[in-house]
């Protein structure tokens, strides 16, 4: 393993783009995270008055025409529009130029969970009303998940790998991890990667309502997502996209790029236990974090912060806490852990990309985002969750955890860019 680590290429994050319920762009999102501000509110995307859950983390103030030609917008479901916008911002911040010399060495990997569910609903209704004549030839490319990376590649001319991991709420994190591997082992020199999701539709919300997975704290939406807190009653659905530009470290340095962080570890595995519940005592998640630390070549005490999966559900939060304690032992009590889902809600397939971006920003800016709405301690969740107020801290290494239905797990490890040797 040591020989492999010595020969593999190092990978830097040079760009970040964000579209979330907290706003559009890095600075808008960072201001909200720093202030502990929630992006959750009443559902406006459809009439939810008869739903037991009527709140969500909707993206507001998004103008697709700021990023996409008007004639192209109608060809893209909202999740694709979000991914294109986030990729534009990430590429602009990285300064990476894609041209004939490097196009085949630049890939795009965007994780998506449910894909174009609103488009499916729209065209199913049109079919029932008017038959085949109302179905558009753009329907399929508008809704299929891999047109998120596809549209990004078409717009920017990236001719390297192009695909979509679909692994529920781990999708975006898998995209970042697989991008790391491809650069590390020489298959690509740069990858635009992350996650996107936009399924705040009657069927999307209704499906999670039927599972009894969602919070019904409708009268106080900003206080509904409360990871690790005793009175949590389910997660809050959200939408958006988070995209990173990953590059081989030395080539990024040669072109004068700002190195935001280094991606140093990736762990992924499966619980093989249940279609929705995590494995008991956090065993699968613990193995995943241990694999990530091994891949990074660091011990548990090198980690200063964990951006937790932290969904605000009974089972996830208790099991993730147990998993952290399994891996970090006594040190877990001194480790800062927070869930930014307390502010954004759960962005499903986009969550891993968005939270990887938040972790990069926390390292870069030396500020740990809080877990808001933390009012009453749960005896089963007894770690330092950075309650309610962001914390200034000189963090060097951080993990970002993502878990999904079917028992799929991902952990990513990042090291602060200005501390690199």
β pairing state of 305-307 and 336-338 = parallel
Catalytic entry in 288, 304, 309, 381: 309
Q: For residue 115, what are its two tokens?
A: 């894909």
| Catalytic-residue membership of 274 | no
Nearest to 228 by CA among 358, 329, 325: 325
Rounded distance between C-alpha atoms, residue 243 and residue 176, angstroms:
9
Q: Which residues contact 295 (CB under 8 A, 6 or more apart)?
A: 264, 265, 266, 267, 413
| Half-sphere CA count of 108, side-chain side, radius 13 A | 28
Q: Within 10 A of 124 (CB to CB), how many other CB atoms are there? A: 12
Rounded distance between C-alpha atoms, residue 241 and residue 353, angstroms:
7
| Catalytic-residue membership of 169 | yes
Rounded distance between C-alpha atoms, residue 297 and residue 291, angstroms:
10
Nearest to 113 by CA among 350, 408, 406, 358: 350
Q: For residue 412, what are its two tokens?
A: 């990513």
Ramachandran category for residue 111: left, alpha or beta (phi over 0 → left; psi -120 to 50 → alpha): beta
β pairing state of 23-24 and 11-20 = antiparallel
Rounded distance between C-alpha atoms, residue 282 and residue 411, angstroms:
14
Catalytic entry in 156, 169, 292, 304: 169
**The tokens 């762009």 sit on which residue?**
25
Catalytic entry in 288, 292, 346, 381: 346
Tell me the sheet residues that pair with 262.
12, 415
Q: Is 346 helix (H, G, I), strand (E, B) or coil?
A: strand
E strands in 181-309 = 190-197, 240-248, 261-270, 305-307
**C-alpha of 353 from chain center:** 3
Q: Looking at the annotation, which residues are catalytic?
A: 169, 309, 346
């Amino acid at each position: 393993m040591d020989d492999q680590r010595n020969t593999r290429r190092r990978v830097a994050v040079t760009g970040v783009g964000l579209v979330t319920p907290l706003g559009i762009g890095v600075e808008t999102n960072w201001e909200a995270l720093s202030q502990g501000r929630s992006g959750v509110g009443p559902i406006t995307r459809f009439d939810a008055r008869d739903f037991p859950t009527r709140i969500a983390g909707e993206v507001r103030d998004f103008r697709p025409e700021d990023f996409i030609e008007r004639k192209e917008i109608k060809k893209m479901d909202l999740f694709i529009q979000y991914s294109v916008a986030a990729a534009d911002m990430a590429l602009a911040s990285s300064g990476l130029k894609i041209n004939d010399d490097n196009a085949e060495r630049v890939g795009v990997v965007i994780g998506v969970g449910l894909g174009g569910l609103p488009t499916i609903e729209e065209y199913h209704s049109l079919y029932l009303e008017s038959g085949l004549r109302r179905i558009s030839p753009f329907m399929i490319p508008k809704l299929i998940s891999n047109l998120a990376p596809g549209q990004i590649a078409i717009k920017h001319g990236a001719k390297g790998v192009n695909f979509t991991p679909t692994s529920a709420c781990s999708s975006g994190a898998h995209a970042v991890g697989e991008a790391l591997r491809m650069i590390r082992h020489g298959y690509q020199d740069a990858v635009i990667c992350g996650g996107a999701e936009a399924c705040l539709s009657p069927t999307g919300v209704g499906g999670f309502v039927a599972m009894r997975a969602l919070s019904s704290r409708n009268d106080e939406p900003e206080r509904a997502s409360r990871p690790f807190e005793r009175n949590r009653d389910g997660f809050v659905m959200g939408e958006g996209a988070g995209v990173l530009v990953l590059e081989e470290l030395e080539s990024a340095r040669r072109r004068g790029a700002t190195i935001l962080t280094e991606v140093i570890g990736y762990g992924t595995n499966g619980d093989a236990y249940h279609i929705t519940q995590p494995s008991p005592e956090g065993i699968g998640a613990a193995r995943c974090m241990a694999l990530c630390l091994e891949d990074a070549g660091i011990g548990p005490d090198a980690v200063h912060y964990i951006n937790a999966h932290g969904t605000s559900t009974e089972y996830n939060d208790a099991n993730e806490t147990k998993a952290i304690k399994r891996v970090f032992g006594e040190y877990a009590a001194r480790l800062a852990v927070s869930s930014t889902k307390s502010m954004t809600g759960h962005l499903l397939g986009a969550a891993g990309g968005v939270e990887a971006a938040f972790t990069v920003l926390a390292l870069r800016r030396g500020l740990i985002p809080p877990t808001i709405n933390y009012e009453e301690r749960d005896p089963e969740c007894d770690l330092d969750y950075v309650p309610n107020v962001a914390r200034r801290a000189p963090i060097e290494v951080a993990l970002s955890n993502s878990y999904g239905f079917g028992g799929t797990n991902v952990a990513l490890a990042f090291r602060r860019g200005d501390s690199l040797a």
